[in-house]
Amino acid sequence: MSDLLKIIGNVHRPTLGEEIPLSVFRAFRLYSGMYLKELMGNRGAVVLFQNAGRELGKAVGKTVPRADLKSYLEEIEAFVKDSKIGLLLPERVEEEVAVFRLEECITCSGMPNIGERICHFEVGFVAGVLENFLKRRVKAYETKCNAMGEGVCEVKLELKDAQNN
């Protein structure tokens, strides 16, 4: 999986460049989600997106030095901001639970209320990043989402006794 980061990092678009409009990214993402939901049901689509995000989070986490959790998370926050995924802000990081806000979320910031939380990939990403540091599985939930009219995306992680999930 870590080779995948190298592979996708090789961009050759001499005329068009690396940037795309956010609306194009969202169209790809949301139409994929709608199709997966139709094909696999809501739970299957959520699990697929969350697990894909989890794997990316682990891969990115492996590229970051692991001196201590605070400095590790600062590096992850910088990566998320520099990659224009959003602004990842730790609200609470304790032994058993962590809560992160994702402001200006790439997937849903500015969207109207569509009546569902849709940032499953981002939830998985945050879980994967923490799993990489903690060296154990964590449970992750999206507790707020711009797409639900809640003004911000929020990820809650259960850090204790989650090894078997």
Encode pLDDT of 36-75 as tens digits: 999 999 999 999 999 999 999 999 999 998 889 999 999 9
Residue 165: the pLDDT is 44
Share of the chain above pLDDT 70, in %: 96
Q: Tell me the average pLDDT across 101-129.
A: 96
Instruction: Please report the pLDDT score of residue 1 as a whole number.
Output: 53
Of 77, 56, 81, the closest CA to residue 131 belongs to 56
Pick the CATH number of 2-158 from 3.40.50.720, 3.40.50.2300, 3.30.465.10, 3.30.1380.20: 3.30.1380.20
Q: Is the pLDDT of residue 140 over 90?
A: yes
Using one digit for the tens of pLDDT, what is the confidence trace for 1-41? Answer: 558 778 888 889 999 998 899 999 999 999 999 999 999 99
HSE value, Cβ hemisphere, 13 Å, CA-based, for 58: 18
The amino acid occupying position 45 is: A
The ranges assigned to domains in the chain are 2-158
Rounded distance, CA 97 to CA 99, Å?
7
Question: What is the predicted pLDDT for the residue at 5?
Answer: 76
